[in-house]
Amino acid sequence: GDSVTQMEGPVTLSEEACLTINCTYTATGYPSLFWYVQYPGEGLQLLLKATKADDKGSNKGFEATYRKETTSFHLEKGSVQVSDSAVYFCALTPYGGTDKLIFGTGTRLQVFP
């Protein structure tokens, strides 16, 4: 079945460092891809999405590009802030399905001043 694999955490960075969180997927057809974020004490929020190959999703300085050839959707940010500390989840919805989300295991990001 469809699945998502993302890098283990925690990822620990200093403020203004570059961030990459790797995400790869296994799916038939053309799934839609997402990054969700869960800030401490808060609910899951959609960070960005991409619905077809070569699409780039972006929000709050974060970007991710839908790479069909490598089945990847890596999350990147050029300069992280302390306020970016959260758990990040890569997810997909299967092609032609009910839009149920299949999540990766999550990656905790800790940014220190």
Partner 1 sequence: GAGVSQSPSNKVTEKGKDVELRCDPISGHTALYWYRQSLGQGLEFLIYFQGNSAPDKSGLPSDRFSAERTGGSVSTLTIQRTQQEDSAVYLCASSLRPGTGINQPQHFGDGTRLSIL
Q: Which residues are at the interface with partner 1 (CB under 8 A)?
A: 32, 42-46, 49, 51, 89, 91, 93, 97-106
Query: Which of 13, 35 has the CB closer to partner 1?
Result: 35
Q: To the nearest whole angstrom, how small is the minimum distance from the Cβ of residue 43 to partner 1?
A: 4
Report residue 44 as tokens. Answer: 């899951």
Q: Smaller CB distance to partner 1: residue 43 or 113?
A: 43
Write down the least CB distance from residue 92 to partner 1, Å.
10
Nearer to partner 1, 80 or 102 (CB): 102
Identify whether the C-beta of residue 58 lies closer than 8 Å to the C-beta of residue 70.
no
Name the minimum Å distance from CB 91 to partner 1: 8
Residue located via tokens 């790869």: 24
b/e sequence 92-102, b meaning 16+ C-beta within 10 Å: bbbeeeeeeeb
DSSP states of 31-73: -EEEEEEE-TTS-EEEEEEE-STT-EEEETTEEEE-BTTTTB-
Q: Which residue, 39 or 112, has its beta carbon nearer to partner 1?
A: 39
